[in-house]
Structure 1
């Protein structure tokens, strides 16, 4: 769910047992048809379009934009066609150099928060609405606001769920509340119960359970713990920004929003004690000195702050100039680290035998990046959106490590390689080939959302590596990599710096709480198009890198040389449940003669039961080609490329994708489709 000030969200660096039902994300990116290679080229090939880069705002400028958006939110809701009982709540505003505003909203209905109702509105300098990105296209309308099930009954059910997962000392948190659940299916009145206590490994427990207030059925659950001069243990001797008060120094970074580092001294609650001493030299590089882990954590927070500011112009986790804080020495032999929304802090255990604190540079970057995700897209921490949440922290944690240029911890595409969490010197995760950890996914499949989020993250981690470095064998900073592709075709990387810019823009202006992998492809392509142009090598590389992890098709229709021409429509089209067929059109021009015998049709449909769908391609002459018949297949979504012999059709003209839902009780929409002429 998207976060708010009254709720608590935390993130782990390490694997946790899957805590709930997978949710297939639904993200609607409203756009017009785009012919690849025909529109909005960047003014300087290979360089980001300066008009579409975010400007760095001062806290007062950002606050002013939020006030302006807040003052206009009623008019915005009316313009968007929201109902009389729906209201918008401004969460954040991003401003581009050309004056375009990307305003992120949460939503309420009859005063209740709408979980899965978040959206982003792009507004041109002229005031015209250019695009709306929604977490759901469903109309938010509830028949009755009177529950049939009591909140107490919903809370007892949530407590039973938590105990079944091994939670101890469980209790219902004060943040439990009545909500509208709109993240999948028709919106309903529900209860969100937050269960506290401890998980089975001593991690704080924050199990969020959403219960239908009419039937008592559990709709969704997720674990809110989203796991994630100093003489440091991992980064050597580094400079730390501290604060002097009288004859003492404290680990307070006045240059970075007042970030502080505290000692929990093996406790598990409270803030702990601020590190303070008469000397401004912290730690001795080993665990014999409690300040060593503090120096690592303090340094990691400073480098992560600088990475976001100097790479993206972001001024702190919330982009408001306010620092978070760090807590070290959590628990006893606690093998984990996490981000916690409620305390706005990072927390680090000391590892097995208290010998390997989880305070390495990429782990610090990982945990702080969970805070950035929480305060931007708010990706749900379950299903495919949860995998994207975890991958985002791995991606930016990797960016932090390369940015630091620290000779004691050189940049690499390994996660947690310094903390020896497996006890054999191997890293926690691998970005070049995620499956090397024994559980992560190298590419997308229909069941990937059912994996633990630390394993489903492999799809996006692999995409990012391929986009940055390309496929095949290579050595980077002394580390050997050999990255495969799911289609066996090569990918040429565009460099890590550009890949980071594309991912950050997608996260902050395109993703919503329910974004899944298909929608992440759509959002990252939109970001690449804005930054570099839709005819650019960068745009095509994003297509190819996603295709290489089995999400969508290649820029050249599968041709390694990239010689194909693609025509794409990314506008959403709702599919009526058990109703008449709907169509989405693409107009092809500039071709000669007939279509090929191997025309490729890439279909991206979000739907709760793919077997209900009958899918046809309709040529310019009206000839229909069956792509998929309805069946009993219960898997969700359709993300597939079909090859059609369309050689009897003229290439130019209007082609249509025709989709009909042939069965009851399931819903979805056409997320986009593409024709590729090899």
Structure 2
């Protein structure tokens, strides 16, 4: 996936580092050093400078005459090296699966390139055989055909199909030969009340469905919250009333949907600035969980990686609690940039646990960086990224009421028998997840194919074998029978974050993830380091080599 340019391919643009915020995987913990608006402006400047290099880079990469690059993200290391993430266009049309990352030295020379798809892109014609209206109707029909059908035991079937947006002409390059295609968003509702927003890519000549992706990503699962216990909250005083709104973290806030399934909800307010009492019957208690969860996620990414919000633009997400009736789920929706939580069975088991919040909002981080396709092996990596960082948010918060562990969703009791949703030390304990890679792992539901990366992360962090951590017993095996020693979760997470934000693309699979994390380990700790060797050994331990 990496193509190196000829020696001496140096761009004439001025160095991007001057006057621009530096992002490092070893950023020190502490308060935000500059106002959020300043940080957002610095990032905007960096993106603008990256766009200023797009023409020269397209030529240096020998892209086709109709291809152009549009900057999506940029990371600058402490030594001045920079990593510019671009989307490609062909004849002005977005190329799905055409993203690439240009790695530059501090002097502006190109060190290497990671591409989601190799080679020049070209099509015999950019004129579709099908009209946009026809494509919209066919996409809606394809979704309607799935009403009442669930792809696996964990997926709620579609109950009804709603509005279909206008079809948008694109180029599909994520699999097979590039094709002219349409991208259409079709809304609906699943049987458990979860809103559905499916993005379909269909062939612009035949109407064949090339890919489909569910954009609503779910987990199958001073204030006092139901789960977080007694915690500090940053609120806003408006007149004589306090609002559950945090101006220090991008203006993030929490609303009450009052069991509705649409709208932004009503902002929580309070007279004495004491929120919730820890009981489910007090509606503010779930709101405390939600507001603390988004703050803890913000703080983890900020104080660990220097990331300024989910999109790294200083803007905070908002949370909606008390969604629907008896809704046993929670979800992140990138279109509203918001987290939503149901109240569970009988409206008495809210899904506002901390690792659920960190998991779901990390989907937003993935969308803003690597954009891992939500299917096949890349989909498993997408889900695992959320499990990894949801777990890390839990360890970062280190709450006495939610003792950190390597279990996913252990507090929400989604199975009704006290067992967690997923296990990182031996993923197959959930009855469906893969412990190790195989050629068929990409055929599993993404929540199960994620097991390979979850297991990798546990082995890298803690090593193999039986041990007890924070009162929880683990026993992690390896596919090759090797005995592994972990490097600690902090280093493991730093390597994964570096790989996600600098090297992974939308089509990254497990083999490419191994390469990406080895590059990340080299960047952070050196090519001959203990950490690099541990990454290689952990991947071998899950049969990725």
Shared topology, TM-score over 0.5?
Answer: yes
Whole-angstrom distance in 1 between the partners of 2:145 and 2:468 = 46
Q: Please list the CA deviations of residues 573-613 of structure 1 after superposition, one character each: whole Å capped at 9, or x if unmatched.
A: xxxxxxxxxxxxxxxxxxxxxxxxxxxxxxxxxxxxxxxxx
* Partner SS, residue 495 of structure 2: helix
The answer to whether structure 1 residue 257 and structure 2 residue 250 are counterparts is: yes
State the Cα distance separating 1:358 from its structure 2 match.
0.9
State the Cα distance separating 1:231 from its structure 2 match.
0.9
Residue 335 of structure 2 is matched in structure 1 by 342
Comparing 473-482 with 206-215, greater Cα deviation is found at: 206-215
Residue 497 of structure 2 is matched in structure 1 by 504
**Alpha-carbon contact 1:51-1:98 (below 8 Å) kept:** no
The answer to whether structure 1 residue 212 and structure 2 residue 185 are counterparts is: no
Whole-angstrom distance in 1 between the partners of 2:289 and 2:269 = 15
State the Cα distance separating 1:60 from its structure 2 match.
2.7
* Partner SS, residue 248 of structure 2: coil
Whole-angstrom distance in 1 between the partners of 2:463 and 2:481 = 13
**Alpha-carbon contact 1:532-1:538 (below 8 Å) kept:** yes
The answer to whether structure 1 residue 332 and structure 2 residue 305 are counterparts is: no
State the Cα distance separating 1:172 from its structure 2 match.
4.3
RMSD: 1.7
Q: Please list the CA deviations of residues 135-186 of structure 1 after superposition, one character each: whole Å capped at 9, or x if unmatched.
A: 1114211111122223333333322322232234423433631110000111
The answer to whether structure 1 residue 67 and structure 2 residue 48 are counterparts is: yes
* Partner SS, residue 73 of structure 2: strand
**Alpha-carbon contact 2:24-2:76 (below 8 Å) kept:** no
Whole-angstrom distance in 1 between the partners of 2:26 and 2:55 = 28
* Residue number among 201, 215, 227 corresponding to 1:224 in the alignment: 215
Whole-angstrom distance in 2 between the partners of 1:222 and 1:430 = 25
Residue 130 of structure 1 is matched in structure 2 by 111
1:405-554 matches, cutoff 5 A: 405-552=398-545
Residue 148 of structure 1 is matched in structure 2 by 129
Whole-angstrom distance in 2 between the partners of 1:260 and 1:505 = 29
The answer to whether structure 1 residue 357 and structure 2 residue 353 are counterparts is: no
Whole-angstrom distance in 1 between the partners of 2:25 and 2:404 = 28
**Alpha-carbon contact 2:480-2:541 (below 8 Å) kept:** yes
Whole-angstrom distance in 2 between the partners of 1:520 and 1:344 = 27
Comparing 541-550 with 197-206, greater Cα deviation is found at: 197-206
* Partner SS, residue 127 of structure 2: coil
* Residue number among 374, 381, 386 corresponding to 1:381 in the alignment: 374
**Alpha-carbon contact 2:465-2:477 (below 8 Å) kept:** yes
Whole-angstrom distance in 2 between the partners of 1:407 and 1:178 = 52
Whole-angstrom distance in 2 between the partners of 1:321 and 1:191 = 33
State the Cα distance separating 1:423 from its structure 2 match.
0.7
1:10-21 matches, cutoff 5 A: none
- Bigger relative contact order (CA 8 A; separation at least 6): 1
For normalisation by structure 1, the TM-score amounts to: 0.73
**Alpha-carbon contact 1:118-1:512 (below 8 Å) kept:** yes
Whole-angstrom distance in 1 between the partners of 2:281 and 2:160 = 32
Q: Which has the higher helix share?
A: 2
Q: Please list the CA deviations of residues 334-359 of structure 1 after superposition, one character each: whole Å capped at 9, or x if unmatched.
A: 11111111101111111111111111
**Alpha-carbon contact 1:138-1:186 (below 8 Å) kept:** no
Residue 3 of structure 2 is matched in structure 1 by 30
State the Cα distance separating 1:433 from its structure 2 match.
0.5
Structure 2 CA distance for partners of 1:301 and 1:332, relative to 1, 3 Å: same
State the Cα distance separating 1:78 from its structure 2 match.
1.4
Comparing 173-182 with 391-400, greater Cα deviation is found at: 173-182
For normalisation by structure 2, the TM-score amounts to: 0.91
Whole-angstrom distance in 2 between the partners of 1:386 and 1:181 = 17
Whole-angstrom distance in 1 between the partners of 2:465 and 2:257 = 45
**Alpha-carbon contact 2:353-2:409 (below 8 Å) kept:** yes
**Alpha-carbon contact 1:204-1:225 (below 8 Å) kept:** yes
State the Cα distance separating 1:75 from its structure 2 match.
1.5
Whole-angstrom distance in 1 between the partners of 2:482 and 2:110 = 39
Whole-angstrom distance in 2 between the partners of 1:397 and 1:162 = 31
Gaps of 5+ in 1: 1-27, 33-49, 553-678
* Partner SS, residue 29 of structure 1: coil
The answer to whether structure 1 residue 236 and structure 2 residue 229 are counterparts is: yes
Structure 2 CA distance for partners of 1:432 and 1:381, relative to 1, 3 Å: same
State the Cα distance separating 1:364 from its structure 2 match.
0.7
Give the length in aligned residue pairs. Answer: 508
* Partner SS, residue 334 of structure 1: coil
Whole-angstrom distance in 2 between the partners of 1:448 and 1:206 = 26
1:39-188 matches, cutoff 5 A: 58-166=39-147, 167-174=158-165, 176-188=167-179
Structure 2 CA distance for partners of 1:120 and 1:504, relative to 1, 3 Å: same
**Alpha-carbon contact 1:251-1:298 (below 8 Å) kept:** yes
Residue 15 of structure 2 is matched in structure 1 by none
**Alpha-carbon contact 2:96-2:171 (below 8 Å) kept:** yes
Comparing 283-292 with 160-169, greater Cα deviation is found at: 160-169
State the Cα distance separating 1:318 from its structure 2 match.
1.1
